A and B are shown apart, each in its own frame.
Chain A
Amino acid sequence: MSTDNTVHGAHTAHVAHHFKTAEQQYSSGKEGIWLFMLTEILMFGAIFVGYAIYHNMYPAMFAEGASSLDWKMGFVNTLVLIFSSFTMAISISFIQKNEQKKAVLALATTVLCGAIFMVIKYFEYQHKFHLGLFPGKFLDVAKVGAEHANLGLYFGFYYVMTGLHGIHVLLGMGLITWCLIRTIRGDFHSQYWIVVEGVGLFWHIVDLIWIFLFPLLYLVG
């Protein structure tokens, strides 16, 4: 419904009717996505505070929990996500240079990295389940031979934090796939890329949260 082509002569198909210029739309979108990132950080922030409190309360129990995680798998996943952040970033730069084919390749690699992350996560979860390391009341302390009676609390944090993060990875993969399809369709070009940039920012935040989760859950002991 962009009927108003007169204002600054800049009204093209990708500028919504209530914006005057492409710049106004771009800066609005960018501010919106940054504010949304802020809410994500606050949401994870509260759970990090919970982690800090209970880690302080039961340090030995947390050490026991951390020692039963496989840091190598976590490390590989960290590398996978950092690499995916890189491919996400260059995809935007390709779109800005109108090199859509390379951008599609970069976006596809990013989705693939997300998938690799989730597969590794799946094997980790499966291994934990196999050992009987369930969250909360489902963890049978006698059966797993745990030293600390409330080891379920550690695994509660583990599953809630990585689970919530995993949901975000899946959401991110969906959003990137959507960007991928729209890039193939030719929606994005050197004049219009804010959607990809927004999704990219989301993806970076998801990676950043993992970068905090990895040492807190796997390494701090």
Chain B
Amino acid sequence: MANTKAHGDNYINFEKGIWSWLTTVDHKRIGLMYFITVMFFFLIGGIMALLLRLELFAPNAAPNVGQILANGDVYNQVMTYHGAIMVFMVIVPGIPAILGNFFLPLQIGAKDVAFPRINLLSWYCFMAGAILAIATFFTTKIDTGWTFYTPYSIRTGTATAMMVLAAFIMGMSSILTGLNFIVTVHKLRAPGMTMHRMPLFIWSLYATAILQMLATPVLGITLLLLAVERFLGIGIFDPKLGGDPVLFQHFFWFYSHPAVYIMIIPAMGIISELITTFSKKVIFGYTAIAYSSLGIAAVSFFVWGHHMFVSGQSETTGIVFSFLTMLVGVPTAIKMFNWVATFYKGSVEFRSPMLYALGFMFLFAIGGVTGVMLATLPIDVHFHDTYFVVAHFHYVMVGGTLMALMGGYYYWFPKMFGKMYNETTARISFVFIFIGFNVTFFPQFILGAMGMPRRYFDYIPAYENLNKISTVGSWLILIGFLVGLYTIVQGLMKGEKAPMNPWGSKTLEWQTSSPPPHDNFSVEPVVTAGPYEYR
């Protein structure tokens, strides 16, 4: 293009200086800015998690090692920040805002997202909300848990209002990203790129964007009402003033249940890409996988009541929600079986992104099956608020989303930075994370079944051994991520120059140089076949 003479030949050196980054409307640069910020918050949230596990290493009565954190209040605060940071600042924006921003236009052969300036605005919204959220840490630290349940969140003397406003602002960022993606998918596909020729990652981002658009506004108004309730005491959620605290739970989960699919559906999209690329084989059941993303998105709006089986909602409601929740298992299983079928007669290559994909399938299967268990009304009443639930959602959120995110980073690393990473250290990192994860969270299923309640900062001696194992596991995860960080930094500094298409993938983002030029493609691609025509 005409401008390339005055500028560098790729998006990274296209313009120079920090200002050119802060004012950029290039989706690739915005993706990288999200990458840096989200990784920073992941570090903070991770430190909180390690502190929690350290506190739970032994019961408080144990000599010397019993109590790490000053008291239960501090534990509650650390737990709240771990949850709020990991949910609102890491896994919700994680895949769509980083990898989605970077690869959605590339994979459909567009020059950018439909509204580049709104894309930048969404990053600033995210930063404003995140800074406000972190700022609460320096006032009165909040202790409500990330769910802000009423009436406690109304009465606790902490900076809850500030935190919910922060979440409100970050929600706007999520809405804007979703809106941008939907319009981009509808309007900016390259010639020949029909909906049914889109890579499955795009289908998953599309389903996610619908959820971001439809669910987040309800969370927004709910959090706003919570803040108003704290300031004005209008009695909408406060039973003392004639309000209904359960209404808050309905509103909250109407967003927050779809939100867990905002976290997991794009992860499934990455897995589809990884499995087909490293099996060198066309994905089995393309249409089924594509539509199952939309299926999960659709069902997700009708299952929020399963968070409320013991909240006092009617038994009939509980039973209906129980059955509706089990429906989620159907499209999810469709994806699983199709992935497994893709391996059949493929030339499977165990590169580190593929290891993460396999890790995902193993962990997500456990997370998913325990999800169906918890959807079963009578079982949930027994397991409610125990470590069984904690183990379940970590298997889904960490074992699922984070595994996919890591796999996606390694897969697209050569494209994003134009460098190759060290395969050996990436594999070592995977082994530590995978084993560490299971060591940390599998014992929590047993602890939950034994009756250990979640969110407590102390426990009876009977739970001690399993908690010790769990804490040791958290150190293994730490080692894994440190090795992963080393791999990324080493790759950035000293990695070999990446070729255009190191994995032999068929999707469009690999058909342009690494890293891509400012306008993504030097010649606009014309698509004549589906995304995975390997053989």
Contacts and interface: CB of A to CB of B under 8 A. Distances in A.
B234 to A, nearest CB: 3
B188 to A, nearest CB: 7
Nearest to B518: A1
Given A28-B183, A46-B251, A50-B247, A156 B232 contact: yes
B114 A28 contact: yes
Contacts of B346: none
A20 to B, nearest CB: 8
A28 B234 contact: no
B235 A156 contact: yes
A36 B179 contact: yes
B234 A32 contact: no
B235 A136 contact: yes
A38 B214 contact: yes
A138 B229 CA distance: 12
A108 B109 CA distance: 42
B244 A28 contact: no
A43 interface: yes
Contacts of B216: 39
Main secondary structure of the interface of A (DSSP, over half): helix
Contact of B220 (A43, A53, A150, A152): A43
* Range of interface residues on B (Cβ < 8 Å): 35 or more
Interface string A1-44: 10110000000000011110000100110011001101110111
Given A39-B175, A39-B216, A53-B247, A153 B236 contact: yes
A24 B2 CA distance: 22
Contact of B225 (A24, A44, A47): A47
Interface string B234-278: 111000011110010001001000000000000000000000000
B494 interface: no
Contacts of B333: none
A16 B251 CA distance: 39
A17 B112 CA distance: 9
A24 B234 contact: no
Contacts of A19: 188
A174 B9 CA distance: 40
A57 B115 CA distance: 44
A132 to B, nearest CB: 15
A160 B236 CA distance: 11
7 contacts: A17-B111, A42-B214, A47-B225, A57-B242, A136-B234, A152-B235, A153-B243
Interface of B: 1-3, 110-116, 118, 175, 179-180, 182-183, 186-188, 213-214, 216-218, 220-222, 224-225, 228-229, 232-236, 241-244, 247, 251, 254, 519
**8 nearest A-B residue pairs (beta carbon):** A156-B234, A137-B233, A136-B234, A43-B217, A136-B232, A18-B111, A18-B112, A42-B217
